[in-house]
Amino acid sequence: MIEALQAIALIPVVAIVGIFISLLFKGIDRILAARMQARIGPPLSQPFIDVKKLFMKENIVPKNSVKWLFEIMPIVSLTASLVVLLYVPLFGFKPLLDGYGDLILVIYLFAIPSLAMVLGGFASSSRYATIGAQREMVTMLSYEFPLAISIIAIAWVISKTGTCIPAFSLGTIFTIPVWGLVGPIGFLGLVLLSLVMLFVMPGEIGTVPFDAPEAETEIGGGVLTEYSGRNLALFYISSSVKTIAFAALIVALIIPWNISNILLLGGTGAIVADALFFLAKLFIVVFVGSTFVRVAIARFRITQIVKIYWGYASLAALFGLLLIAIDLSWMV
């Protein structure tokens, strides 16, 4: 009972810290992208300024829209993104709601913000938003398959340890690095699955080159065309939080180690060191999986997105799963 009350009390703290860190990382992302393109770029505080400005602007609702659905979807999107943070390990600690959810639940929660954008786009009655919503649905259906293969493969490796542990629990996965549970062939399979998850990341968070649903030069902002003011700010924050949440999931699956064990630290020093190390790992994942990719690659067409995820990424994930299966069969 006491633990449940403590978890409830910490939920607002996780939400506030998550929003702050996500907007801070978005500012870092924009600065690094600008430098890589030989531009000066915006200040670090630009995302905070953007959110403040959007909240001060008029919130316009299209005349022919389904108003209640149009208005509620940004709230649903942000809520789902924040709830994910409660189920993933943060700052070197187990998930706040450890034991109340697992990887399958997290996969479903990650789909809710995309579905909220789709419903909001359809509810706006805009032809551009409708096209964007259709593209968002196709993109989501494309990247879910290779992502599911990668995540289930890692859980499967942990289930083969021979112990009665919940293999799909992020709290368990966080404490049992999978790299030590496989041989050389399985190690190559895990590397391949890790690369697949990093390549799924820009599609999951909707950034270049997988931002066809919001392509400004093609469909004028697409699924978010009719959103403004407070509602657009909520979608903006939701996208930022989802980026951090997905990066934290990859950190938990691929690089879950804490540095305090290596440095033989304890007490407050261990907490601070692990928190800073977590932020460093988070930065690396965001940079590789989002910043570098969107600077290096131009926007794909929606047909190319389907081909890449259903074709190349899925085949790579299946091959990685096959390598792990071969490795585990030899270890038995």
Q: How confident is the model at residue 161 (pLDDT cuts 50, 70, 90)?
A: low
Residue 265 has pLDDT above 80, yes or no: no
The pLDDT value given to residue 101: 66
For residue 181, the enclosing domain spans 2-331
Distance CA 224, CA 211 (A): 12
Share of the chain above pLDDT 90, in %: 40
Write down the mean pLDDT value for the chain. Answer: 87
Q: How many structural domains comprise the chain?
A: 1
Query: For residue 93, what is the DSSP state?
Result: B
Q: Which residue in this structure is represented by tokens 């270049």?
A: 208
pLDDT digits (tens, 9 = 90+) for 168-223: 777 777 778 888 888 889 899 999 999 999 999 998 888 888 887 777 777 667 78
The pLDDT value given to residue 164: 55
Distance CA 327, CA 166 (A): 22
Distance CA 190, CA 1 (A): 39
Which of these, 29, 54, 102, lies nearest to 295 by C-alpha position? 29
**Cβ distance 212 to 139 under 8 Å?**
yes
What one-character-per-residue DSSP string does 292-304 give?
HHHHHSPPPPHHH
pLDDT digits (tens, 9 = 90+) for 288-306: 988 998 888 888 888 898 9
Taking the CA atoms of the chain, what radius of gyration do you get in angstroms? 20
Q: Which residue in this structure is represented by tokens 């804490």?
A: 258
Distance CA 331, CA 33 (A): 44
Contacts of 277 (CB under 8 A, 6+ apart): 92, 258, 259
Distance CA 279, CA 284 (A): 9
pLDDT digits (tens, 9 = 90+) for 80-123: 999 999 999 888 888 888 776 678 888 889 999 999 999 998 89
Distance CA 28, CA 283 (A): 9
Residue with the bigger pLDDT between 172 and 278: it is 278
Output the CA–CA distances (angstroms, integers) from residue 141 to 2, 103, 135, in the order listed.
41, 18, 10
